[in-house]
Chains A and B, each alone.
Chain A
Amino acid sequence: MIRLENIGKRYQRSDVLQRIDWRIADSAFVLVTGRSGGGKTTLLSIMGGLTRPDEGRVLIDDVDIWRLSEPELAALRNRKLGFVFQFPSLIPTLRVLDNVLLPIAFGGRSPNREDREFAGSLLAMVGIADKEKAYPSQLSGGQQRRAAIARALINRPSIILADEPTGDLDESTEAEIMSLFQNINRQGVTIVMVTHALDYAALGTACLLKNQQLFPYPAGPSPESAAGEESRHGE
C-alpha cells in the first residue's frame, strides 16, 4: 500500500502540491490526469523516492521512504518500484536486452542466465522479442516505450509508476500499451499512471490533479466539480 500524508512541494516559493492525502491499495490501477505543468510528474517522483517533498510523508508498505538512508532508498527504488518515464529513457550505449537487465546490475549483482531468460520473456510480453540485440536508436518510439516497460518490470516490482507512457504514441499503439499495463495489473502489480488518455479511466480509479490538490475523476463528491475545470482545460 502507498500512503501519501499531507504532501507539499514548492519550487521557488510557488506551490506545486499542497496538503495531498492519498491512499493507493495494493494491486490498484490508478490514473492521474491534470493540465500540463500541474505537478503530476512531481507527485510521481515524490511517491517514487526521486525527489523529497517539502512537507508530509510517503509510506510504502508502512515504511516512511523519505526517512530511509540513501542506500536503503536506492534499494527500495530498485526492488519495489519500476519507473516508466515521460521521455525516452533507454540508455543509448546499451543494447535493448542490456537496458532491460540494467536494474539487476544496480541491485548489486551481475545478471545470470535466468535473468536473461526473464528479460527475454518480458520483451516477448511487450511484443519486441526480436529487438533484444538492437540498440535503442534502431527502435521506434513505441518500441522504446515497450522496452522501458520491460525494464521497469525486471526486478518484479510491486509498484509501477508510469508517467504518460503513451504520451506521444498513436491511438492503436496506445491501446496496446494500455492493455499491457492492464495485464501487468492483473498479475497484482500496483500501477500509478499519469495520462491524458482518459478514455481508459475505466481501467481503474482516476484522479485529477488541480490547484495543487487531488480530486476524484470524473465528478467527485467535492463541491467544486472537477469536470467543469477539465472542460476549461480542453479549450
Chain B
Amino acid sequence: MRQVFYLVRKNLRRKPFRSWLMIGCMALACATLFLAAVLSRGIQDTLQTSRERFGADIVVVPAEARDEALSVLISGDPTTFYMPSSLEAKVRQTPGVGRTSAQVFLRSLDAACCVVQVALVGYDPERDFTIAPWVLRKTGGPQRDNQIIVGAKVISAVVGSPEKAIGQRLIFMGKPFTVATILEPTGLGTDYTVFLTLNVAYRLTWESPLYPVPVNKDEISAIMVRVEDGEDPAAVAGSIEAKNPEVAALTANLLTRFFSRELRTLVEILFLAGGVFSFLALALTGSLFALSVRQRLREIGLFRAMGARRKVVFQLIVLEAVCIAGAGGLLGVLAGFCAAYFSRDRITEMIGNMYIWPGGQSLFAVALLILLAALAAGILGGLYPACRVSGLDPYEAIRKGE
C-alpha cells in the first residue's frame, strides 16, 4: 500500500497543472456547497432561536391586520389594530390552548426620547409570559403605573450601555415614566418596544391630549397564546382561525417570511451554483481523470507485466482519484470557511442582525459532510476507470496505450 501511495504521488506530480485543475474544480464546488450549507444552516438556527425568543406559540390578531401584525412583532413597526377583548376568552376555550395574555398596541408618536421609532404596547404583567424571560434584571415588586419596560434597542443608543438605562426618566405622550428594567436583545420587534401595563396604556389614550383616537378598555390588539405541552402550534392556530373567522392566528413559522428575500435568493443561488459547480466539477474532473488513466494504459500494462496484481492497479487508480477529490474537498472547505469568515459582517448586515452564525460544531459537521461527499465522489469517479483498466490483459493494456 505504501508503494501504491508512492506511485500515486509521483503520478500526480507528473502533470501538476492537470492535477491542480482537477483539485481546483473539486475545491470550487465544495467551497460553494459549504457556503450555501453554512448560510442555510445559519438561517435554520436563527429561525429556531427566533421561535424561542418569540415567546408565544401563536399570536392572535384581527384577520385584516395579519400583515401589519407581523411587522410589529418582527421589527417593532408602530401600527395599531383592534378587536373585541371578549375574543380572548373564546380563544382560551379552543382545545390545545394553554395560556393566553392580551396586549394592546398604541399609536406611538415620534417620541422625543428616542432615536428610533418605538412601539408602545400595553401588556398584562400578571398573565404575560412573553417578555418575562427577557427581563435583564428583575426589579423588586410588581410594575408600577409609572414604570415601563423597554426593549434593548430603545434607548441604549442614547444612554450607551443598557444597564445605565434603568432608572432613566422618559416622557411618552406628555407623561413621565421611569425605566423599570430592560429586555435582553431578541432580534425581534421587542427590541424596539416600550411595554406599559394595560391599564396605563388605556388611560394614556384617554388622558393624553396628543393621542388622536382613545382606545376603549374592551379593545385589544393581540392575544399571545401558549399551547399546551405537546400540542402542535400550527394545528391549534388552525382551529382558532376556524372557530373565529374574524381573527388571524400567527405562528412562529411565519417568521420565515421575514428573512429578507435577498438572503433567501443568495442561499438559493449558492445552492444552485454549488449544484452546477459540483456537476461541472464532477464531469470535468471525471473526464480529465479518465483521460489521464487512458493515457497511462501502457504504463499500467507494464506494471502488470512486472508483476503488479490486478488489485494493485485498481488501488492505484482509486487512490489517485480519492487523493484528488480529498485535496479538492479539503481546500474547498477551507476556502469556503475563509470566505464565510471574511464576509461575515457583510452577510450579517445584509441578513439583518438577527442572523445567527452556526456554531463551531455545525461548521465542523458541514465541513465533514462535504469532505465525505467529495471523498465518495472520488471513490465513485475512480471506480469506473479502475474497473475498466484493471480488467484488461496486460498485453491489451500495453497495445491500447500505444
Contacts and interface: CB of A to CB of B under 8 A. Distances in A.
24 contacts: A45-B395, A49-B394, A50-B304, A50-B398, A51-B394, A51-B396, A71-B310, A74-B304, A74-B308, A74-B309, A76-B307, A77-B306, A77-B307, A78-B308, A83-B306, A85-B398, A91-B10, A91-B299, A93-B14, A102-B306, A105-B3, A105-B6, A106-B312, A110-B3
Nearest to B2: A110
B11 interface: yes
Interface in B294-319: 298-299, 301-312
A93 B13 contact: yes
Interface in A58-113: 70-71, 74-79, 83, 85, 87, 89, 91-94, 102-103, 105-107, 110
6 tightest Cβ-Cβ pairs between the two chains A and B: A78-B307, A51-B395, A105-B3, A50-B395, A93-B10, A45-B395
A64 to B, nearest CB: 17
Nearest to B309: A74
B231 interface: no
Contacts of B11: 93
Contacts of B394: 45, 49-51, 77
A48 B395 CA distance: 10
Nearest to B392: A51
A15 to B, nearest CB: 17
A75 B395 CA distance: 16
Contact of A74 (B299, B310, B398): B310
B306 to A, nearest CB: 4
Interface of B: 2-3, 6, 10-11, 13-14, 298-299, 301-312, 393-396, 398, 402
Given A50-B395, A85-B302, A91-B302, A106 B308 contact: yes
A3 interface: no
A75 B307 contact: yes
Given A50-B398, A93-B13, A93-B14, A103 B393 contact: no
A210 interface: no
A94 B14 CA distance: 10
Contact of B307 (A74, A87, A94): A74
A19 interface: no
Contact of B303 (A49, A70, A106): A106
Contact of A106 (B2, B306, B395): B306
A10 interface: no
B299 to A, nearest CB: 6
A74 B298 CA distance: 17
- Chain A: interface residue count, which band? 20 to 34
Contacts of A94: 10
Contacts of B402: 87
Nearest to B303: A106
A210 B79 CA distance: 103
Contacts of B305: 48, 50, 77, 83, 85
A31 to B, nearest CB: 21
A116 interface: no
A52 interface: yes
Contacts of B303: 102, 106
Contacts of A85: 302, 305, 398
A52 B393 contact: yes
A76 B13 CA distance: 31
Contacts of A93: 10-11, 13-14
A105 B196 CA distance: 83
Looking at A71, A105, A107, the one whose CB has the most chain B CB atoms below 10 A away is A105
B5 to A, nearest CB: 11
A78 B305 CA distance: 8
A46 to B, nearest CB: 8
Contacts of A71: 309-311
A32 B302 CA distance: 22
Contacts of A110: 2-3
A78 B303 CA distance: 10
